[in-house]
A = this chain, B = another copy of it.
Amino acid sequence: MRTGEAVKQPQAQTKEALAQALVARLGEDVVLLGDQVAPYCRDWHGDVQSDAVAVLRPRTTQSVSDCVRAAAELGLGVVPQGGNTGLVLGGVPDTPATQVVVSLERMNRVRSLDADDFSAVVEAGIVLEEFKNKVAQAGLYFPLSLGAQGSCRLGGNVATNAGGVNVLRYGMTRELVLGLEVVLPDGRIFEGLSRLRKDNRGIDLKQLFIGAEGTLGIITAVSVKLMPAPEKTATALLALSSLEDVIALYRHARRQCCDLMSAFEFMPPEAFVLAAEALPDLPLPLDGSHPAYALVEISGSGLVDIDALMAAFLEEGFENGMVLDGVVAQSQAQARNLWLIREGMNEGQAKRGKHLRTDVSVALSALPAFVAEAEAAVMAALPNALCVSYGHVGDGNVHLNVLPDPAADGPQTDADIYTAKGAINAVLDRFDGSISAEHGIGRLKRTDFEARLPDVRRDMLLALKDALDPASTMNPGCQLDLLRNAAG
């Protein structure tokens, strides 16, 4: 394995000289310098402010290729960036003197949308919500739905294999991708914008780039599956006696509702307090007096009566005693308000200050035991902390967040966050869980990732990287620390 030998050494050139060399090669239209660089080097939460030699903003695939070649020739690492809404520093430079950001924000066209084929070909820089709206205008639906959809860009969603609230019905981003166009580390273009549903011509190379967080190339365009628009959606907020019951209800719902559920989220009672803190005017139809809550959405089009299905499902739930209380939205506005409780819960956590956000997954059947044990481990170590566990039940995906003692000072808060993460990860490891269900590894989770990486996988990842990006041009420092691996 040659990785490490091949990792390039920073050129002995000043940042200014490198920047001017980029302008000379790529033109002023493409290169941002000076004060304009900072916004692209800041993470979504504002925890990190980095820097870069320049930000490159190509308008075409060929220009992306030119950017990659220029960076490689100058010995610069390339950090691809979409909407910069990632939560793990995958798109934020970590060695400012030798990295450039390549932002896809100016590549945002819908190249084609074929309603008869239930497919579209779209450039990587389109904002997810804008794309969803264009698809809706054609009477169809692109199901990827997540909090950042007003800012995130589709290429980033693919590079991170984004999840969101509709995964249980429609799958992760990977399952929505039909094809990719990618600029490779040597500047060549992988032309794979297939719209075929079935194509077993050997190894499916596009899979390599989905979830690779830009470490093997820059995704410049995507062909995706579209769905019939769900004309009818029924949304309910339900109170239950435990997380076990939430899971049991989910299992029951899959069978009874024919997999027509499009979302099934669970929330703790604290959600109502936190949402009220963030959104004081939000109507709260339930009051947080029960141990567990589920936010359930059933959707569909055509001949199935979605409202009747939800009503029959809830009637069963009340009759068998599993559902203790509940409310079904009577309008789109009411449904939106139910979702705002979930979103307000997140904002409420942010308003309380610095806290631990996790994004873990375990087997569905292990979810209640995991949450109980992990919360107990946190509380044993930090008796004055507050655990807020919520997430995507059907996917076994929990965001087990920890708000440290509000009386603690800054250094103590940081120490508590570190302690809480250690306590949760120790339990997670016993459950064979994942430290990153949806958000990726980036730079933030790299150390925790590498600490858990079996030798066989590490060797395979290094061999892959070496085979496809021998000079380590693409997103160096993301996912793996190649220099450390080479030395170790």
Contacts and interface: CB of A to CB of B under 8 A. Distances in A.
Given A200-B211, A200-B436, A302-B257, A466 B464 contact: no
Contacts of A227: 259
B197 A364 contact: yes
A44 interface: no
Interface in A253-272: 254-260
Contacts of A303: 256-258, 309, 312-313, 316
Nearest to A173: B200
Size category of the A interface is 35 or more
Nearest to A258: B300
B202 A479 contact: yes
A12 interface: no
Interface stretch (A55-63, A116-124, A347-355): A116-124
11 contacts: A161-B200, A196-B433, A199-B437, A200-B211, A201-B436, A201-B441, A201-B449, A202-B461, A203-B208, A203-B215, A460-B468
Interface of A: 114, 116-119, 160-161, 163, 167, 171-172, 174-175, 184, 188-192, 194-205, 207-208, 210-213, 215-216, 227-229, 247, 251, 254-260, 300-304, 309, 312-313, 316, 361-366, 392, 394-397, 432-441, 449, 454, 456-457, 460-461, 463-464, 466-468, 479-480
B167 A456 contact: no
Given A197-B167, A205-B457, A467-B464, A363 B114 contact: yes
Contacts of A163: 198, 200
Given A196-B434, A200-B439, A258-B304, 7 more contacts: A118-B364, A192-B457, A201-B441, A202-B440, A228-B255, A258-B301, A467-B467
In the A-B complex, the 4 residue pairs with the smallest Cβ-Cβ separation, listed nearest first, are A256-B302, A467-B467, A258-B300, A207-B207
Contacts of A190: 456-457, 460
B302 A258 contact: yes
Contacts of A251: 116, 118
Contact of A228 (B195, B228, B254, B480): B254
Contacts of A228: 254-255, 258-259
B198 A301 contact: no
B260 A304 contact: yes
